[in-house]
Chain A
Amino acid sequence: MEKKVVFSKVSEKDVTRAIVSEFTQQFSEYVESDVIIVGGGPSGLMAGRELAGKGLKVLIIERNNYLGGGFWIGGYLMNKITVRAPAQEILSELQIPYKEFMEGLYVADGPHACSKLIAAACDAGIKIANMTIFEDLVLREENRVAGVVVNWTPVGALPREITCVDPVALETKIVIDSTGHDACVVRKLEERGLIKTAGYGAMWVEQSEDLVVEHTSEAHPGLIVIGMAVSTTFALPRMGPTFGAMLLSGKRGAEIALEKLK
C-alpha cells in the first residue's frame, strides 16, 4: 500500500513570513550591486550569466512576470528559433539541443532554448527583480550612470490618483540596457539631452547581425548597450528573427563590463 503524502504543518503566517523575509533580504542586499541589467531577454540573460559566472553581483530588472523576452518563439509565432554560425557554439555551451538546418544555419526549440538560458543565468548567480519597471537613471559626477530608478510594473497601469507610488533607486557600478528595440535606458538619457539616438536603421539588410555585435559598446559612461537596443541606439538596419546576435552581443557586453570593472 502506498504511503500517504503528508505535508508538514505550516500556517499561512509562516508562508507569508518566508516570502517577505527572503524577498526583503535579497532586495536589501541588491540595493547596491556590481551590474544592473535592464531587460531579461536573451542578450540580458546571456550577459547576466557571463558576469555572475565571474563572481559579480548582478541584478536583472524585468518588467514582465516572465523572463526570456522573444526568445520563446521565432518568426510568425512559430516556436523554433534560428541562429547563424558561430552562435551555435553558445547553444552547445548552454547544452541546448539543436540541429543544422543548412550550412551555417541552426534551429532549436524556442521553449527548450529559453528555459535553458534562464536556468544557466540563475545557476550562475543572477538575481531577478521581475514585475519591476525601469523608470529613470541615477546620475553622478559628469553625468556618469550610477544606478536605476524602478517601480512595480502594475503601478504604471493604474490611474495616478489611485497609485501615487513613488519609485525607489538602486545603485550600481554599471547599467546594461538590454530592453530591445525600445532602448528604454538610452532613451531616458536622450530625454535629458545626454545622448542622441536615431531609432531604427535605414532598411532591412542581411547579415546586420554582425553589426549588432560590432556596435555593442559603452554608449555613455556607465551604460553599456546590448542586443536590439544596439540597433536603435546606433541606427543599424533591421533584422529578422535570428537570435545569434542577441546571444553574442550579450557575451560581448559582459566582456566590456568586466573590462570596465577591472
Chain B
Amino acid sequence: MSHSFITIPSSIHIYQGVETDYLNSVEIADYLQAIIKQAVVDIRPDIHCFYSASYDNKEKGAILDATAFEMAKIKIRDINKKNCLPEPMQAEIDYEKRNLLKSTAKTFGIIYEGFSLQQLYLNLIDEGEKDIKHLHLVFTNQLFATWDPGNIRYHARVSIYGFPSIISTSGIVVAPAKPRDFYLKRQLGQDPNLLKEEYKGSFIDYGDPRMTDVLKGYVAQALFYHLVGYPFCEDKNCRLFNAHRQNELLQAQLFSNYEFCPKHKAVLEQLKDN
C-alpha cells in the first residue's frame, strides 16, 4: 500500500497531563522518535499549565477562569441525553479550577463531552503551533465520551484523534469492555476490589505497569491519523486495531506477534524514504 499524500509533522508535542506512575512519556517519546525520525519529539507539562505559563498573573487568572468555566460546562450530566450541557454551578467551576492547577495528579471521574474537550484544548494551543507541521498529543487522566447515534447514548472513549489528539489513561481502563462476568458479578453487589483480584490480568487497571506499552499503540493511531487521515486497522493483531473490548486491546497491543500489519508497516517504510 502506498500513500501519495503523507503529512509528516516536523514536531510532535506530548503533553504529560498524567502522573508518571501511570505513563512513562519518555518511553512514548522514544517510541515515536524511532518510528518517525524526521520529527522533533518533545515532552511538555499538562497542556493548560504549558500554555498559560507564558502569560502574566492577570492573564493566567483569566485563562484559568475561562477554561474552568468551559470544563464545567462540557461535563456530561446524562449519558442518554445529547448536548445536555447547562450552565454550571459555581462549585463545579471551583472544582475545575482546583483540578486545572494540579499539573498531573488530577482528580477524575467526571465524564466530559469528547469533541468539546478537544476544542477546549485546541483553544489553548498557541497560534504559531496550530498547523499540520505540529502533531499535538494530549495525555489526560480525565474521562471523555462521544455520542453514539446508533445506541442513542454517550460512550466513554480512550482517544479522539485530530487537532489535537487526546488520549485518556482512565479511558483505557473504563472504555473497552471488561469480561462480561465481571459486570454481572458487580451488579450482584460483589466488591469491585475483590472482582479486580479475580479478573486480574484480563484488563488494564489504574496504575497498571502495562499502561505505557499499551499507549504506544494509541500514539501510533494518532500518528497515522496525522499521516494519512485514518487511525485504525481491521487486523486484530495490528497496534492500530480499534479495540472495543479489553481482550482485543491486550491482543493488539501486547500479545500480538507483530506490531503493525504488512500494509501499515509499508506506510512506515514509506516514511523513511520521505
A residues bordering B, Cβ < 8 Å? 75-76, 82, 102, 105, 195-196, 198-199, 201-203, 205-208, 210-211, 214-215, 217-219, 233-237, 240
Are B145 and A202 within 8 A (Cβ)?
yes
Are A237 and B192 within 8 A (Cβ)?
no
Option from B94, B98, B110, B145 in Cβ contact (under 8 Å) with A236:
B110
Beyond A76-B188, A203-B156, A235-B78, list 20 extra A-B contacts (CB 8 Å). A102-B193, A102-B197, A196-B86, A202-B76, A202-B79, A202-B145, A203-B111, A206-B192, A206-B206, A207-B206, A211-B95, A211-B107, A215-B91, A217-B90, A218-B91, A234-B91, A235-B75, A236-B109, A236-B110, A237-B110
Specify the main secondary structure of chain A where it touches its partner. loop
Are B192 and A240 within 8 A (Cβ)?
yes
For B, the interface residue count at a CB cutoff of 8 angstroms equals 32
Alpha-carbon gap, A195 to B92, bound state (A):
13
Are A207 and B109 within 8 A (Cβ)?
yes
Residue of B nearest to A240 (CB): B192
Taking CB atoms and an 8 Å cut-off, the chain B residues in 77-92 that contact chain A are: 77-79, 84, 86-87, 89-92
Alpha-carbon gap, A102 to B200, bound state (A):
15
Tell me the minimal C-beta distance from A118 to chain B in angstroms: 25
Contacts of A202 in B (CB 8 A): 76-79, 110-111, 145, 154
Alpha-carbon gap, A210 to B197, bound state (A):
22
The answer to whether B249 has its CB under 8 Å from any CB of chain A is no
Contacts of A201 in B (CB 8 A): 77, 110-111
Are B75 and A237 within 8 A (Cβ)?
no
Are B79 and A203 within 8 A (Cβ)?
yes
Alpha-carbon gap, A134 to B217, bound state (A):
55
Are B98 and A214 within 8 A (Cβ)?
yes
Alpha-carbon gap, A75 to B190, bound state (A):
8
Q: List 27 A-B contacts (CB under 8 A).
A: A75-B191, A76-B188, A105-B193, A196-B89, A198-B86, A202-B76, A202-B77, A202-B110, A202-B145, A205-B109, A206-B206, A207-B108, A207-B206, A208-B109, A211-B110, A214-B95, A214-B98, A214-B107, A215-B91, A215-B92, A215-B95, A217-B91, A218-B91, A234-B89, A234-B92, A235-B78, A236-B110
Contacts of B197 in A (CB 8 A): 102
